[in-house]
Amino acid sequence: MAGRNLLSRMRGAPVGQAIAAPMRPDQQRHALMLMEDYERSGLGWFWSTDRDGLVTYLSPWAAERLGKSPEQLMGAQFYALFAPDRDREDTAERTLPLILSAHKTFADRAVKVEHGDTAMWWAISGRPQFDKAGQFSGYRGNGADVTASRRTHLDASRLAMYDSLTGLANRHRMAQRLDATITAYRVSKRSCAVMMLDLDRFKQVNDTLGHPVGDELLKQVAQRLHQAIEHTCEIGRLGGDEFQVILPDIDDRGKLGDIARSIISMISQPYQIGGDRCIIGASVGIAIAPYDGISCDEVVRSADLALYAAKGGGRGTFRFYSSDLQDAAEQRRQLEDDLRDALQRGEISLAYQPIVSAANDTVVGLEAVMRWSHPEYGVLSPDLFIPIAEDSKLILGLGEWAMRRACEEVQRLPGNLRVAVNVSPTQFANPGFPAVVASVLASSRIDPDRLELELTESVFLHESDSNERTFADLKQLGVRLALDDFGTGYASLGYLRKAPFDKIKIDKTFINGATDPSTRNAAIITAIVSLTDALDLETTAEGVEAMDELELLRKLGVKTIQGFLYSPPLPFNEISAAMSANEWVIAPSGPTHQRSGRRTIFRKVGVIHEDFRYEVTMRNISRSGTMIEGLVDIPLDTQFVVDFGEGQLAIGIVRRSQGSVQGLSFEVPLVDDGAGGLCTRHRVSPYSLAAAGMPLAALPPGNYPLHPQAGGGEGGGGAKFVLPKFGTAPEKSRGRAA
C-alpha cells in the first residue's frame, strides 16, 4: 500500500486519506529511494513545471533519452521536448500546449520523442498544482515508455491501410483519401485527377516465371512509380496488377499526358529479377474531377472506362475519359460477340499492301492485312478488331486462317513475290505454332522462303527457352522472320543479336516528321539502318506518305518502302491483275511534303462569337488550328470560341477565309488525347457553368453559352451573328449560316 500511495502522491492523484498524513524523515528517505529505483528501472519517470510551463524537474532517465542532462533541461518549455507525431491521423485532437494552458488534469497523453535517428513514444500524465491562495503554480506528473505498444498499433494500422507487398496505400486507404479530397475540393472548386494503371502481360510473367518473381516485379513497379510521380500525389495498389494515382490540383491534360507517358515508359523498361529478365507494359486511364464526375465513385468509374479503352486500343498507351467511352465499351462487347462467327459467315477477307524496292519502285513483296466487313458497321480496320481478337483468344483461329489464305492466294500469282503475315504474341506463345506454320506450308505448297512472319517486339516479354525453341523451329522450316514496329516496344539490342530475324521494319512514327529538322527521327532512322547493315538484315520503312520522306529514306539507305505513297492495301483480284505482266512497277504519287499532324475529320462543332453560338462542320484539325465550314463573309482576324463539347473550349482566330470555309489558328495549341486524336489542354469547369446558371447534374455534352442571359441560338435558327467590329452597320454585317 505504501508503494501505491507513493506513486499516487507523485502523480498527484489521491488514493486514500493515508497519503495526506505527513511522512517521517525515515519514510521520506525510503520514498526517495523507491522513486530513484523506479526511475532507474525505466518503467516510468517524473516531471514538474512552474506556472509558465518551464521544466523544474525531469527524471535523469527521461533526460538521457532526450540526449541531455537534467540540468540542461531546466527552464525549457515542457511541451517543446516532444516532436510532432506525423503518424497520427487524429489531427483534430487537442495539442499538448492547449491542454497545459487549460490547467486541467490529463492522463496517458501520447507524445513522440526524437533523438538522432531514434524515435520513441511516451505516455504522460499530469495534474495541476495550486498554492494556498488557489493560484496555479505548475504541473507535476509522470510518464512511461509505450514505444513497443505504439509500434504494434502503428503496424496494425498500417496493415489495414497499406499494401504489405509494395508498401503503397491499399484500396481502402485510396478510397478514403480520394473521397475526402474530392469532397473538400468540391467546396473549394478545385480539380483532382485520377489515374488507373494496369500492367500489360503481367499475368503471363506470373504464370511462366512463378509468383515469387511476380511479387518482386510488383515491388519494382512500385519503386518506379515513386520515381515517375510527384511526391504530392498518392500512389496505391488496388490489388493484383492494378494501381491507382491521385493527383490533386492537376487538370492540365498536356501535363497529365506527359506523366502518363513517363509512367508507361518507365514501367516498360526491362526488369532483372534473379536470373530472369522480363519486360511488361502498362496502360493508363485518366479522369478528372469535376469534369468527369463530381463524386469519388463517378470519377473512379470514368477512369476505369478510360483504362478499358486504353487496353482495347492496343495497350501501352493512355486514354482520357470522354462521354462516348460508355458507348464504345458496349460496342466493343458487341463486336466480340459478332467476331466469334465472322469467319463462318464469310465476313473476314484479306487485302494486300505492296512492298516496293526503294531503288527502282518495283514491287518485291506484299503484306496481308485482314479486313472485316461487318453487316452493321461496314468495313472495319484490323486496328479495331485485332485487339478484341487477342483478348478473347479468337486470334488463334483468325491468325491461322489468314496465313493459309495468304499463302494459297500468293502461290497463284506469277513470279516469286513474298507475302508477309502478321503474327500476334498470343500465336507465337502457343507451343503448337511451328506445327501450324508447317501445315500451312504443306497445304499451300508455297516455297517457305516466300512466307515472311511479322512479329512485334512484345514477343520479347521475357527471355525463355520456349521463345528460343520457337525461333529455331521456324527457321528450320525455312520461313523468313521480320521484326515489326521496331523501336516502339520491348526489344533489347542484346536479344535482337540472338534472334534470327531477316528484316527490321521501321515504324511509321519515326517516318512521320523525319524531314523536320526539329525532330531526331532522321538520326534514329540512320542508326537503325546502320544496325541492320551490321547485322546483315533488310529494312522496310512503313507508313511513307510524302515525296520528301521517300527522298530522305532513299538517301539514308532504306531498302524497301511501304505506304500510301505507293499504294493502299488492295483486294486480291486487283493484285492479280496488276501482276499479270510478271513485274509490277508503281510510280510514287503523293504530296511533296508531309503536313505533319493535320487530321481529316468531318464532325459538327460549335463556334461562339459575342453572345451567340453556331453549329459548323470541322473539316480537319491539327495542334495549331482547324478548318471549319458553315459560315460566310467572315473577315480575317475574327476571334471565335470553338466548342468541341464536354467543356472543351478553344480560342481560334480566322487566318484564312474563302466563301464558307475558314482556317482558324488556336491561341493555345491542342494536346494529344492518347487515342491518336487531340483535345484542349484545359476544360471549362462544370462549377463555372453551374455558376452561370447551368445545373451540375444535367450538363449537356456541349453547347456552353458564354452569356446565357443573351439567349444565343443555333446557326440557322434565327439568331443573329453580330460582328459590330466589321466597321459597318450591325444590320448589314450579320454573318449568314451556309
255-306: pLDDT as tens digits:
999 999 999 999 988 888 887 788 888 999 999 999 898 899 999 999 999 9
pLDDT of residue 157: 62
Q: Is the pLDDT of residue 729 over 50?
A: no
122-149 average pLDDT score: 91
E strands of 443-501, at which residues?
451-456, 480-486
Distance between CA atoms of residues 63 and 91, nearest Å: 27
Looking at per-residue pLDDT, the higher value among 25 and 515 belongs to 515
Distance between CA atoms of residues 562 and 504, nearest Å: 13
pLDDT of residue 611: 72
CA dihedral 583, 589, 592, 595 (to 10 degrees): -120
Residue with cell 489521491: 14
| Dihedral sign from CA coordinates of 268, 392, 543, 361 | positive
- C-alpha distances (whole Å) from 259 to each of 225, 286, 320, 495, 678 are 10, 11, 13, 29, 17
pLDDT of residue 539: 93
- C-alpha distances (whole Å) from 699 to each of 27, 101, 648 are 82, 53, 13
Q: Kindly report, residue by residue over 378-418, the tens digit of the pLDDT.
A: 888 888 888 888 878 899 999 999 999 999 999 999 888 99
667-677 average pLDDT score: 84
Q: Kindly report, residue by residue over 511-526, the tens digit of the pLDDT.
A: 877 888 878 889 989 9
Query: Model pTM greater than 0.85?
Result: no
Half-sphere exposure at residue 170, Cβ-oriented, CA atoms within 13 angstroms:
11
pLDDT of residue 86: 54
For residue 405 the three cell numbers come to 489464305
Identify the three-state secondary structure at position 617: strand
Beta-strand pair 242-248/599-609: unpaired
The helix (run of H) or strand (run of E) holding residue 10 is helix 2-11
Highest-confidence range of 32-41, 580-589, 716-725, by mean pLDDT?
580-589
Domains of the chain: 42-147 (3.30.450.20), 162-323 (3.30.70.270), 350-581 (3.20.20.450), 599-737 (2.40.10)
425-431 average pLDDT score: 87
Distance between CA atoms of residues 686 and 701, nearest Å: 11
pLDDT of residue 687: 56
pLDDT of residue 630: 86
**C-alpha closest to that of 445 among 398, 396, 409:** 409
Residue 711: pLDDT band by 50, 70, 90 thresholds? Answer: very low
Residue 690: pLDDT band by 50, 70, 90 thresholds? Answer: low
Residue with cell 534470327: 500
Residue with cell 528501472: 41
pLDDT of residue 127: 94
Looking at per-residue pLDDT, the higher value among 328 and 710 belongs to 328
Q: Give, rounded to a whole angstrom, the gap between the first and last alpha carbons of the chain.
A: 102
Q: Kindly report, residue by residue over 628-655, the tens digit of the pLDDT.
A: 988 888 899 999 989 888 788 889 999 9
Looking at per-residue pLDDT, the higher value among 433 and 16 belongs to 433
For residue 14 the three cell numbers come to 489521491
**Residue 562 in contact with residue 355, Cβ under 8 Å?**
yes
**DSSP class of 719:** -
For residue 624 the three cell numbers come to 495549331
- Beta carbons within 8 Å of 194's beta carbon, 6+ residues apart: 178, 244, 245, 246, 247, 286, 287, 288, 289, 299, 300, 303
pLDDT of residue 714: 35
**C-alpha closest to that of 349 among 414, 396, 409:** 409
40-56 average pLDDT score: 87
Residue 495: pLDDT band by 50, 70, 90 thresholds? Answer: low
pLDDT of residue 234: 92
Say what percent of the chain tops pLDDT 70: 83
For residue 316 the three cell numbers come to 501501352
What one-letter code names the amino acid at 544?
Answer: V
Distance between CA atoms of residues 163 and 527, nearest Å: 44
| Dihedral sign from CA coordinates of 173, 174, 178, 181 | positive
**Residue 263 in contact with residue 222, Cβ under 8 Å?**
no
Residue 494: pLDDT band by 50, 70, 90 thresholds? Answer: low
pLDDT of residue 599: 56
Q: Is the pLDDT of residue 735 over 50?
A: no
Distance between CA atoms of residues 696 and 189, nearest Å: 13
b/e 650-672 (16+ beta carbons within 10 angstroms → b): bebebeebeebbbbbebeeebbb
**C-alpha closest to that of 625 among 595, 657, 654:** 654
425-436 average pLDDT score: 90
Mean pLDDT is lowest, of 434-443, 488-497, 603-612, for: 488-497
pLDDT of residue 715: 34
- C-alpha distances (whole Å) from 139 to each of 100, 146, 307, 725 are 8, 21, 60, 79
For residue 96 the three cell numbers come to 499538448
pLDDT of residue 368: 96
Mean per-residue pLDDT of the chain: 82
Q: Is the pLDDT of residue 459 over 80?
A: no
b/e 576-594 (16+ beta carbons within 10 angstroms → b): bebbeeeebeeebebeeeb
Q: Kindly report, residue by residue over 593-622, the tens digit of the pLDDT.
A: 765 455 556 678 888 887 777 888 888 888
